[in-house]
Amino acid sequence: RKDIIALMRKANDLGVTLYDTADVYGAGHNEILVGEALKPIRDKVVILTKLNPEVNPITLPGKGTAKEQIESRLDESLKRLDTEYVDIYMFHRVPQDVTLAECAEAMAGLIKKGKIRSWAMSRATEAQIREANAVCPLAVIQNEYSMMVRTPEQDGVLKACDELGI
């Protein structure tokens, strides 16, 4: 634990500013570690954390609306990260059981409350990006793109991100 915390701080000294975690990494324990490591340098870093609606649905009966469940999940992440806000809050997967409009509206509300500065989606299609962005502007799309996987060049994702300033 001590070595990992020192490593994350050293990474910042060397220029790393973005730290990416998720509520499902180590069942939340990764967020605790990231929060502890970054607390003294919080103003120098960007924290991105994700919620995964596949692993932990946001439509659980008796737990409130999807919007309420998204905020509740964020509140749990904020507590684990020991911070008052997250720079980027990302859907680890695009929810299949809730409309993108509902998701984007929830994120807009969290931005308005100051709990997040921006929002993002992972594994989103061009149509999903355009639909969600029309409700609340997206900051980041995290899709597979590498020397071996060039799909975003053909499926419209890069074009949409460029056009929308994502």
pLDDT tens digits for range 78-105: 999 999 999 999 999 998 889 999 999 9
What is the pLDDT at residue 54? 81
DSSP 15: T
- Round to whole Å and give the CA distance between 48 and 30: 12
Helix (H) / strand (E) element for 89: namely strand 86-91
pTM for the complete prediction?
Answer: 0.93
Tell me the pLDDT of the chain averaged across its residues. 95
pLDDT at 5 over 90: yes
What is the structure's pLDDT at 147? 92
Average pLDDT over residues 60-64: 87
Predicted pLDDT of residue 26: 87
> Active site includes 25?
yes
pLDDT of residue 43: 95
Q: What is the pLDDT of residue 61?
A: 85
Active-site residue (options: 19, 25, 89, 145): 25
Rounded Cα distance between 19 and 35, Å, is: 10
* Residue found under tokens 């502890």: 36
pLDDT band at 36 (very low <50, low <70, confident <90, very high): very high
Rounded CA-CA distance 105/57 in Å is 17
pLDDT at 55: 81
Whether the predicted pLDDT of 62 surpasses 90: no
Under the banding of pLDDT at 50, 70 and 90, the label for residue 130 is very high
- What digits encode the pLDDT tens for the residues 137-162? 999 999 998 999 999 999 999 999 99
